[in-house]
A and B are shown apart, each in its own frame.
Chain A
Amino acid sequence: MTGIWRVVLFFYSLLLVAVSVSALILAIGRTEILDSISIAASSSETRLIIAGIALLLLVLSIITLFYSIGSNSAPKTKTVLVNNGIAGQVSMTIPAVKVIVMKAVKTVEGIKDIKTTVNNKPEGVEVLLHTMINPEYNIPEMSERIQTVVRQQLEDIGGLKVAGVRVLIDDFGSAAKAPGN
């Protein structure tokens, strides 16, 4: 977003604040604002000024609407740098990293549910896994397996440097059939 658009957006937001505050004041029963508007609308000169401002705001609203919907340019999300060679850069979005993590975790038996957070740090990507596991499984063993497989997949498939894989057991999921029963 360029500097001029930041200014436009600032004034647009400021106007929304003013409208919201006015609506709140009206809602608590103070009608002075309505009186002021009536007085302003009684003169043809002020009506013209109001019409001009309204037109300007309408144009700004439409432009802001189109800007928020997005242009043809490709999506901009947080990225992780994979490689910076002579031919150019190779980067990967955080959602793409999450897909690799999820596929890796799904190969580990005993996991009921998982939520992934990926942070990009100078020393590599840091993965935080909030997991819900089957209570029949050994937590340290399972955690180690998750860490190993996630690190391996990120390094092999993604070509990423992994700073760390943290596993947090949030909850235990009830097993439909317990092993050995």
Chain B
Amino acid sequence: MDGKKPEINTELGAIRIADEVVATVAGLAASEVEGVATLSGGWGTDLVEKLGKKNFGKGIRVEVIGEETKIDIYAVIDYGYQIPKVAEEIQNEVKQAVENMTGLKVMAVNVHIVSVILKKSEPEEIASADVKTEY
């Protein structure tokens, strides 16, 4: 997250919204989407979170270009879900949430799938197909 803060100009003055706030809104919206296991903020952020500090904006990068905002989301998806559909839903939910809550114009929501993991609800189904445990 860099550059100047997202800004909305009104007759009374400017409203500045910290990009961390935008990241938190985007992070919460993205986490709600079915098929999203978690958001990936890199090992440093994950380590800090394990130590107890919850970071809702992890795995989100907010970039301000003029009056428009570009959001990059780094997500881990549950195995079995169709990635293009999940990604599209993330894009819609995040765009809607950020625009509704902050009033900012979201130019693009780029979704980066960093990993695919097993769904917690059905580990046995996949584990039964484990290559090295057979024969």
Contact = CB atoms under 8 A, between A and B. Distances in A.
A114 B112 contact: no
B114 interface: yes
B129 interface: yes
Contact of B112 (A79, A134, A158): A79
Given A70-B43, A103-B126, A112 B132 contact: yes
Interface in B37-65: 40-45, 59, 61
Contact of A95 (B72, B74, B115): B115
A82 B129 contact: no
B33 interface: no
B112 A113 contact: no
Contacts of A180: none
Contacts of B8: none
B135 A99 contact: no
Nearest to B127: A106
A107 B129 contact: yes
Given A72-B41, A99-B116, A114 B110 contact: no
15 contacts: A70-B42, A72-B44, A74-B42, A74-B59, A79-B112, A83-B87, A88-B70, A90-B83, A91-B111, A92-B83, A92-B112, A95-B115, A99-B115, A106-B126, A112-B131
